[in-house]
Structure 1
Amino acid sequence: MISDLLARSLPLLRRRAGTLDLSALHEVGPRALGVDSLAVSLLTDPGRRELLWSSDALGRRFEDLEFVLGDGPGDDASSHGRPVLVPDLAGTRSARWPMLAAEATALPVRAVFCFPLCIGAIHLGTLTAVRRTSGPLTGAQTDDAFVLAAALTSLCLEVPDGDGHMPWEEEPPPLLRAVVHQATGMLSVQLAVPLPEALVRLRAHAYAAGRTLGDMAQDIVDRRARLGQNGREE
């Protein structure tokens, strides 16, 4: 069963054949699911999600925190292809996501609900809903979330003209964390380490400095910061 509110909105996601317009979800999506913010992330490499869209800054900040830490319900949902529902983030055992449990207290997020965008073994990304108050989704809200995740998955799998491109409205938008990948590549060369290790070092430094990964990466790209072999700024 799907709510009338979401039912009226789903057709708007497909502005025309083979295109995707997430702006239709800005207000309707959070209202239908009874949450404060929604975010959609896509897998670009195994184990790496890129934020594609968020309804507001809260969802974007939570996704950025998960990206910095490399851990959280969104990563679990995309890795295992199963929803991860956390109605009380503060009450979640710290052993499950130890760093997230410590750092998420700085955000006004009390509940997180992550739904994978997947069909069978094909994993595309996640739909993440966050709320400022604790408590589970209702049955109707959960149904809406599953329907919305399925619709997004279907739209993302549409390939116009058989050219292998993803179905964005225009050209694929630049990924919001492109600067992170650029900084990772620079660190990989500077420190003579593989890219995965360079990303771990970048994450660790941003975490230790209490900064967002994007800000730390921008400083490295702009050469305002340079990490030495010991992980400290030179």
Structure 2
Amino acid sequence: MAKILRLLQTDAWPDAVADTAELLGVDGISVSAGSGPGVVEVLWSSGDLSDSFEDLQITLGHGPGPDSLAAGAAVRVHDLAFVREDRWPGLVVEASALAVEAVFCFPLRIGAITLGVLTLVRSVPGPLTAAQGDDANALAVALTKRVLDLGFPPLSPPDDEDQVFHHAVLHQATGMVSVQLSVPLAEALLRLRAHAYSNNLNLTETARDIVARRLRLAPELPPMNVIDDADED
């Protein structure tokens, strides 16, 4: 871990973070930042498992990552199968389909301010060991400094349009839906999430389709007037 923490101060920091997966006994690692109410920006991810879980949290708008960001405290879920359904509706079932059974989130904090979250995912249930928990905390502290040194929020610019940051395309799509449907921004974001979830898409894919004008959300139909027989008497 000491070697990895030293590498975090160099341009090799993504490889350094990826190397901690085996050390921490997890299958995926991601680093995200808060970029506004209800929106989390994924700054870096180690692979498909972490990508999929982060997309799931963004689509649903809740999960251990957003909770850790909001509270500025670690959220450790040793076994998602034992989480109450009403805590994070839909997440437990969908996470199981992704083969994510345990999640550990550590806030990236400086003083009272929480900048982001380090999220560890694992395909088997069970807690982190005491040593692994200490190492994860140390990694979170080092990543906090790294995020600040590189200029929060983006750690690096996107290489092409397919790697455009989540928050940029989400903000743009939310604004377009807000104008198109004449609804507040908060409602527009909810409509985006509802469409993505009901069509088994992640939120980023939906937002990109809207920005590219491949998708336009239809306005909700007004409720039909129903005449009760008793009202006619």
Q: Give the TM-score of the pair, scaled to structure 1.
A: 0.85
Q: Number of matched residues? A: 216
Residues 98-122 of structure 1 show CA distances to partners (whole Å, capped at 9, x for unaligned) of 2212322221100000001112311
Residues 181-200 of structure 1 show CA distances to partners (whole Å, capped at 9, x for unaligned) of 22111101101112221111
Corresponding residue for residue 21 of structure 1: 13
> Residues 155-174 of structure 1 correspond to what in structure 2 (within 5 A)?
155-158=146-149, 165-166=151-152, 172-173=157-158, 174=164
Structure 1 residue 184 corresponds to structure 2 residue 179: no
Q: CA deviation at 1:47?
A: 4.0
2:153 and 2:84 map into 1 onto residues whose CA distance is 39
1:130 and 1:190 map into 2 onto residues whose CA distance is 38
User: Runs of 5+ in structure 2 lacking a partner?
Assistant: 159-163, 222-233
> Residues 1-234 of structure 1 correspond to what in structure 2 (within 5 A)?
6-15=1-10, 21-26=13-18, 28-158=19-149, 165-166=151-152, 172-173=157-158, 174-230=164-220
**Partner SS for 1:71:** coil
Larger Rg computed on CA atoms: 2
1:230 and 1:23 map into 2 onto residues whose CA distance is 47
2:188 and 2:139 map into 1 onto residues whose CA distance is 36
Q: Which amino acid aligns with 1:8?
A: K
User: Runs of 5+ in structure 1 lacking a partner?
Assistant: 1-5, 160-164
Q: Which amino acid aligns with 1:64?
A: D
Q: CA deviation at 1:152?
A: 0.7
Pick closer, same or farther for the CA change 1:179–1:12 going to 2, 3 Å.
same
Q: CA deviation at 1:46?
A: 3.6
Contact 1:166 1:172 (8 Å CA) reproduced:
no
Stretch deviating more after TM superposition (121-130 or 178-187): 178-187
**Partner SS for 1:223:** coil
Q: CA deviation at 1:62?
A: 0.2
Corresponding residue for residue 3 of structure 1: none
Q: CA deviation at 1:168?
A: 6.7
Contact 2:43 2:154 (8 Å CA) reproduced:
no
**Partner SS for 2:90:** helix
Q: CA deviation at 1:81?
A: 0.7
Pick closer, same or farther for the CA change 1:48–1:122 going to 2, 3 Å.
same
| Percent of aligned pairs with the same amino acid | 53
1:80 and 1:186 map into 2 onto residues whose CA distance is 31
1:153 and 1:38 map into 2 onto residues whose CA distance is 15
Q: CA deviation at 1:50?
A: 0.4
Taking only aligned residues, the RMSD between alpha carbons, in angstroms, comes to 2.0
